[in-house]
Amino acid sequence: MFENRSETATARLQALIAKSQGKHRAREEPLVVFTSSSGVDPQGGLRALLHRLPVAPVPRRRMIFVGLALGVLLAIALSLWWERPEPEAPPPLPMAAAEVTRLPEEIVVNVVGAVPRPGLVTVPSGARVADAVMAAGGAHPGTDLQGLNLARKVADGEQIAVGIPPQHPDTTVEPVNLNTATKEQLDQLPGVGPVTAQRIVERRLKRGPFTSIDQLGEIEGIGDAKLAKLGDLVRL
C-alpha cells in the first residue's frame, strides 16, 4: 500500500511538472528553423532569430567623447570664420584733372578803312570778317573788297583793313621767305588766313623746304589767282 501511494505521488508530481512546462512553452514564441525542404522561406526564420537577439547599447562614455569632439570642431570653425580678414576695397584711382580750355564768348577786333564807324568792335567768338565789317557799319558803297576774305574767321585783337589797297612790295614790304616765315608772318599775306598759313607750315615740316614758289599751288585753299598774287610777296 505504501508503494502505491509512492507511485501515485510520483505520478502527480510528474503531471504537475509536465503541466508547468507546457504553460511555459505556450508563453514563449516558438523558434522555428526552416530549411529549404520545409516549403517556407528560410530567411524568415533568420530574420526572426536576429530580431530576438539583444542589441548591444552604445557605451555612454563613447557618446560623450564624440559629442565633445564635435563641439570642439564647431568652436574652431566658428573662430576661424569670425577672425578671417575682410577683403580690402582697392583704393580709388586718382581722377585726372580735366583740362578744359574755354574760348572767350566775345572778341575785340580793329576795323579800319572804308567803314562808317572805324575802330574797335566786339563780335562773338568764331565770327568772320564779314561780321566784323558789319559791326563797324558795313563797307562804303563802291568799296573794292576783292582783297578781303570775308569768310575768314577773325582772331581776338586782329586788325581788318577795308578798302585799303596793299602797298607795293617793291617799295615798302619785303617778300616773305617761305622756308623760314612763321605762321603769323604768312597770315599777313593778302588772301592767306590762319588756316592756310598753318597748312603752309605743316607742308614745310612734312616734305621739307620749298624748292619752287609754284609749290604753293599744292596747298589747299591756294588757287591759280591767289598764287599769282603771292608770286611777288614770297621768296625762297
**Which domains are seen in the chain, by residue range?**
104-164 (3.10.20.600), 166-236 (1.10.150.320)
Cell of 206: 612734312
For 199, the grid coordinates are: 597748312
- Please list, in sequence order, all residues whose beta carbon lies within 8 angstroms of the beta carbon of residue 176, skipping any fewer than 6 positions away: 185, 186, 188, 189, 233, 234, 235
Q: What does the pLDDT read at residue 26?
A: 46
- Output the pLDDT for position 16: 61
The string of pLDDT tens digits covering residues 83-103 is 666 667 777 766 654 555 565
**pLDDT over 70 (residue 125):** yes
- φ/ψ of residue 106, rounded to 5: -135, 150
Between the alpha carbon of residue 50 and those of residues 31, 46, 56, the distances in Å are: 11, 6, 13
Quote the CA–CA distance of 221 and 202 in Å, as a whole number. 14
What pLDDT is stored for residue 51 in this prediction?
57
User: Residue 180 corresponds to which amino acid?
Assistant: T
User: Rounded distance, CA 173 to CA 235, Å?
Assistant: 12
Lowest mean pLDDT among 72-86, 136-150, 194-208: 72-86
More confident residue, 21 or 156: 156
Closest CA to 234 of 184, 173, 151: 173
Q: Decide if 176 contacts 185 (C-beta within 8 A).
A: yes
